Amino acid sequence: MKYLALSLISTLFVSGGFARPSRLANREAARRLRGSRPFSGSPYVVVSSTTNGTDSQIESKTSAVKSSGTTLHDEYSTNWAGVVIESPPTGQNFTTVSGTFVVPKPIGSNGSASAWVGIDGDTASQSILQAGVDFTISGGKVSYESWYEWYPNYAYDFSNFAISAGNTITITIQSTSSKAGIVTLSNKSTGKSVSKSLTAPSSSTALKGQNAEWIVEDYEQNGSLVPFANFGTVTFTNASASTSKKTVAPSSGIKVNIVQNKKLLTSTSFTTNSVTVKHT
């Protein structure tokens, strides 16, 4: 799920991109209509903010940087919010990324979002090994789906893995080589776990191990983004990314927030072992 960057920064926001119906076969068919697009987009700058993150506070990067002379920090995207680590320690590659979160209950009438953990997808833009949970509200009814994907292959659902609001889910992504990996979801509330061994779709989509992510996404389906659900807050705890030699904290990464139609829709923060994304 490669993210669509709108781009870098803020001075006052100082800090600092994908296929899913009720039966499994139908959901997998729907996933094939869900596309991924490469990193691209227009640069934006948040020059100030209101409590709901709206309207004229978001300007083009060119005019804002000229007027403020600010240093570039955070990134802004149309569909990713969370933290991205853009490079591991020199001479090393990320091999494992993990995080634990409590499944939110979205509010409102209609919308969807997805919380996931992954390797690559940013500077290593040809591939992503990832897994996560979708949370959807439709007509006031909430549903959940868990899934895995090696982009640019389709995403597929895990079957027989029940998820409810308030469950504690741990996601672990592990690359056993550049062309093979294992994704695991564990529901700490039910004691159930699922895992899947995956291989790279092609030699050109082998993992680089350059990036690690903890993301809440407004995913794309049928060529456009789905209505973004008000999920409240998602916090990835015990968040870490590891190489063969070292564990790297999310606080070494870059915060990403979602901007759509010049509205800031999320607020991201991190500590040494957690990533929090709030719907604004």
- The DSSP call for residue 229 is P
Residue 28 annotated to the active site:
no
- The DSSP call for residue 179 is T
The first and second tokens of residue 20, run together, are 């899913």
Distance CA 236, CA 277 (A): 9
- The closest alpha carbon to 153, from 35, 233, 259, 6, belongs to 35
Q: Is 64 helix (H, G, I), strand (E, B) or coil?
A: helix
Tell me which long-range contacts 188-196 makes (C-beta under 8 A, separation of at least 24).
188/100, 189/164, 190/162, 192/161, 192/162, 194/146, 194/158, 194/160, 194/161, 196/131, 196/148, 196/158
Kindly tell me the sign of the dihedral angle through the C-alpha atoms of 95, 99, 103, 108. negative
Distance CA 31, CA 27 (A): 6
Burial (0-12, 13-18, 19+ Cβ within 10 Å), 55: exposed
- The DSSP call for residue 145 is E
Q: What single-letter amino acid sits at 137?
A: I
Catalytic, out of 28, 145, 149, 217: 217
Q: Beta strands 220-221 and 128-138: pairing type?
A: unpaired
Query: 87 with 93: CB under 8 angstroms?
Result: no
Query: 220 with 226: CB under 8 angstroms?
Result: yes
Residues carrying an active site annotation: 217
